[in-house]
Chains A and B, each alone.
Chain A
Amino acid sequence: MKPEDKLDKGLEDKIDDLVTKKGVTRRDFMKFCGLMAATLGLEASFVPKIARAIASAPRPPVVWLQFAECTGCTEALLRTADPFIDDLLLEKVSSEYHETIMAAAGDHATACLDSAVSQYAGQFLCFVEGAVPTASGGIYGMIGNKTMLQIAREVLPQAKAVVCVGTCASFGGLPAAAGGLTGARGVRDATGISTVNMPGCPPNAVNIAALIVNYLLNNQLPGTDRYGRPNFAYGNKVHSQCPRRGTDWCLKGFGCKGPMAVHNCPSVKYNGGTSWCVQADAPCKNCTTPGFWDSMTPFFDYSGSY
């Protein structure tokens, strides 16, 4: 460990202060930093750096836009079982606009968005949840008398970076499935703006936290695959990580799409490591791939044996 990686006195105090206010232990905090390092595929020597970034980085401004969505992605973040996720959301980033949690309403809310975009132009991180309806000029989705398409075009070019949270914002998702009437598209597709995509229905909050931690650490977003998905979370096949692979409990005869899917579900799991689809005997639906609502259905193979 290099000397600068060690926890200095000032940082020690900050961490003590943080954990005292939370009513949790130092060990919990360092464990969380370890989880973040592991999720990001970083060596253990990064743990103190992560601790420093969380405990002392300035709060980057964040704007969270919600378009044609079900709020499941926001809920995934809110419901994740780590005591430091709410820190990340409430204290480690400055959530300038997020309709689900913000106190302000109506034109007071819109004023928050306008002021964040002008005050932090080129600096704020923009998270987008939900697809963008583009048919008929975008009239299928409106907020404050503007179409979502219009809002996307006004706000996103001002952001330092755009992160699509969930399959709808990334690739269109459910409203873009066959039969949809609204011309819903993923953000990149609808606006031509480059995005980092965190698909999943919903995506795993641990991965989003890791993306924020990575940003606090390096002031940049992680490397991605050709679909814009960060390699740290979408670099391996579900099946190759699955504890049921090669056992009698493998769900491949039941329509499991794990062999095609990339996501770190089997290692990170959901709800604080409680479980994931296959652990509950539900076949993987490959929810992180573009167009999965059409290309991965039917989701079950009832003729198969399990």
Chain B
Amino acid sequence: MHTETEARPTGEAGAAGAARRKLLSVAEHTIEIVSDAGEGAQKCGQIFGAVSAKMGNGVWTVEIIPAEIQPPPRVPDGASGYRIRIGSQPVTNWGDATTLAVAFNEQVLLARHRLDALAPDAVLLVEDKWATDEDPDIRAAWESAMAELSGREYRIVPVPMEQQCLTLVDNPRKGKNMFALGMLAYIYDRDMDRVREQIAYAFRKKSEEIYRSNVALLELGYAWAGEHLDFRIEVAPAPSSGALVVMNGNEALGLGAIASGMELCAMYPITPATSVSHYLSEVFERFGGIVHQAEDEIAAVGVAIGASYAGKVAFTITSGPGLALKTEFLGLAVMTEMPLVVVNVQRGGPSTGLPTKVEQSDLLAALFGQTGDAPHVIIAPATIEECFHVMVTARRIAEAFRAVVIVLSDANLATGVTPFARPKPDVRWQAEPLDLSPVPDGQKAYQWDPRTGLSPRVIPGRPGGMYTVTGLSHDEGSKVAYSSGVHQHSSAMRSRKLAVLQSLLSPPPVYGESKGDLLIVGWGSTKGAIEEAVDRARADGLQVSSTHLRFLSPLEPGLKKIFKRFRKVMTVEINYSDEPGEPFITDENRRRGQLSLLLRSSTLVDVDCWTRVPGEPLRPGSIVEAIRSQLHYLHHSPRGGNQS
């Protein structure tokens, strides 16, 4: 560790200082801003990320959120912040480790250190007021933290953030984040006009005075860094690829809902899904839509089903615990064949679990959570861009198949921000007007095609279209019927639709060579990290490829054929599985990753898994290690392959 014990004299600013300043040109850099909750580190990171994206860098951001809403100050577990990975190429995941961090106190920095989030040679800009605090306990904590950090080759730069901010504002707790933003803007040579614009946008609901105060703090941080730091970092922009938009996954889901012609979002607030409705509540009405906040999760899905019955295009959004509450109504929607889109932004579970953290643990709950046989569609977007486009596809499938479509997003996609190609809206994404012409004589409410199970939708109000909607088992005319033949037939018709949908799907493409030693299978937000890991492994000569599934019910076809071309198949997922070799764990009782379990049952291939539930996105480096471990086992065990 190298600690700069005192700031450079201001005389080093200007031409002489600049001449001694190092300019480090890198292909990518990962930045974190960490603070106690409520100190605005996330706002700082969001603005820096947005500006970097607008300046042409590839960007991926991740929120660092404490488990508690208001944890006590200066405790490692209370670290709140933002990681921004910027690059000269598109960035698809949060990477492995932070190379430059700004910390508002040493305890939150310690938290990141202990989580192994910091690169061994990271530059750490840390508020230095705690070193000389009048409270001896705080001074001791500082000393202790510095001692612990000294085990690495970090370069620690003390920064008098509070002292500087006090020259402009009375409460530096409300201004340090803009000072930090100024420092980052200097270090990475951000366009200050764009930064000011982004501040204006971020504080658009606040007064002009607040904007000016923030800009003054920004400029103070920029000037301070210019005078006192002896380095700058250049990350060239990515090659231009046309018009881009910058947003997070929840905004993309909301915008996609608008673009697809959805008319009603019925929801009950739950982290990390709520921000979809926050976004929609600001703009949805302008497009003829409504956000309905119901009294609870069950009512929310009930409202969506009711609106769908009336002919509207409705969706509901939730997260794990909310999905559990909606279970009964999802069964009703399946039984009554109401088109319905359910967005589940997954978080850690079970129960309240990890409300703010990413996990992919709802796959089996989404698939099998309903009572009885309730076949429905599950789609998982893999990128923030796909969060936008998936809503169009989900709506169309829901309506065409009279089906429930569950869209499985997650907290990584929900809060991550990245630039992507500006969508070109097409009015054909939106629903055709309702068919309100008289129902042809003899047509029934569920006029199932005996081959496909598909039936035309009947909307209330159509002459001749009256029928009773019921969750009881019913026949084609929606008449309650308890005979075994009717239930058998109607179950077959509802199930057949999934087989028909699968018949329309294409096998998933393989990333890398189409055959080899190891195939990684992923789903959801892990795509970027998996593919980066595959690239690194292949660069080291390892015969590894990957495929990423979007359709999880029905599964994309041709998987068994693809799997057969590899010696070993392994899923990589953010959910829990038992580790082989742990006490009591046998091949027979081992609980496996959720996709792994699904693939094993549907392909009869011995699909292995590597899963983790760290409460954060997977790191490409960790996946590379898992790949090496698997291949080592494969090459040193006569029975290592699943095809043996």
Q: Do A and B come from one complex?
A: no
Chain A contact residues, CB within 8 Å of chain B:
none
Chain B contact residues, CB within 8 Å of chain A:
none
